[in-house]
Copies of this chain bind each other. A is one copy, B any other.
Amino acid sequence: MKNETPFIDKNEFLFIGGPCAVESSEQMKAILSLPFGPSVIRGGIYKMRTNKNSFQGLGIVGIELIKEIKKSHKLSFVTEITDPRQIDGLLPIVSCFQVGARNMYNYELLKELGNYQVPVILKRGFSATISEWLGASEYLQALGQENIILCERGVRSFDNKLRNLLDLGSVIYLKKNTAFKVIVDPSHAMGDRRYVSDAAVAALAAGADGIMVEVHPDPDNALSDGQQSIGPEIATELVQKIKELAPHFNKVLRV
């Protein structure tokens, strides 16, 4: 069964924003009330952490929290899935699943997601080649290409100045050679909020169909990834800049 409605429309540039982790109802409502009015919100409920003692997300509590918010707010919600057994719990709240870099090679998860109609954002693995990334996308293929969104999030590098190495060459390659929608996560690529906006604009120029950005109402007090999260001010400026530039690339911003 294939979902006929594309998650990103033709000529649309999508801004997906939100915190690394869903922390509280207040936090999510603060995001929703930001001046730039993001219509697609990301937020982690099940977190993948290299260190098992790091904050692992709210889990089921987070699912209930999002359900509550959806009663009173229009919310298109994207969250990471890390285990096939989470699908049933997440289905009522997600508009789009996200498969993180660590799970790009988790083919059992991908095969399972292919059975649902929900769009999937498939992040590139830490050091995955483009071929491997496309290979992983084939495990999802029942979803149809319009509902598989590849997300470049930077690859591992030898450099220690930036968290990852933002690969916009992959975006250029994929847009020229495949029919996939391709978005960029400048937050994980750069790892530092001072660089996020420039990377986001460069992604637009490279041909990306959207960005997924860590936005937090109060980044300095975020439970995770605060350093790379942008706050309301930077987010507002970035939205302005993209609105100004998108038409030069035959795109229109949907916030």
Contacts and interface: CB of A to CB of B under 8 A. Distances in A.
A167 B166 contact: yes
Nearest to A102: B105
Given A126-B127, A204-B205, A135 B168 contact: no
Contact of A52 (B48, B135, B201, B207): B135
A74 to B, nearest CB: 31
A195 interface: yes
A169 B169 contact: no
A247 to B, nearest CB: 11
Interface stretch (A18-26, A154-162, A225-233): A154-162
The 5 tightest CB contacts between A and B, nearest first, are: A102-B105, A205-B205, A127-B127, A83-B108, A202-B206
Interface of A: 48-52, 82-85, 102-103, 105-109, 125-127, 129-132, 135-136, 138-139, 154-162, 164-170, 172-173, 175-176, 189-190, 194-195, 198-199, 201-207, 244-245, 248
A172 to B, nearest CB: 5
Given A50-B135, A51-B135, A162-B170, 12 more contacts: A50-B136, A52-B139, A103-B105, A131-B159, A156-B158, A158-B158, A162-B173, A169-B190, A176-B198, A204-B205, A205-B206, A244-B248
A177 to B, nearest CB: 8
Q: Which of A103, A155, A166, A205 has the most CB of B within 10 A?
A: A205
A90 to B, nearest CB: 14
7 contacts: A85-B108, A103-B106, A129-B160, A130-B161, A166-B167, A169-B195, A173-B195
A162 B169 contact: yes
Nearest to A163: B169
Given A160-B129, A248-B244, A105 B166 contact: no
Q: Which of A130, A139, A157 has the most CB of B within 10 A?
A: A157
A172 B195 contact: yes
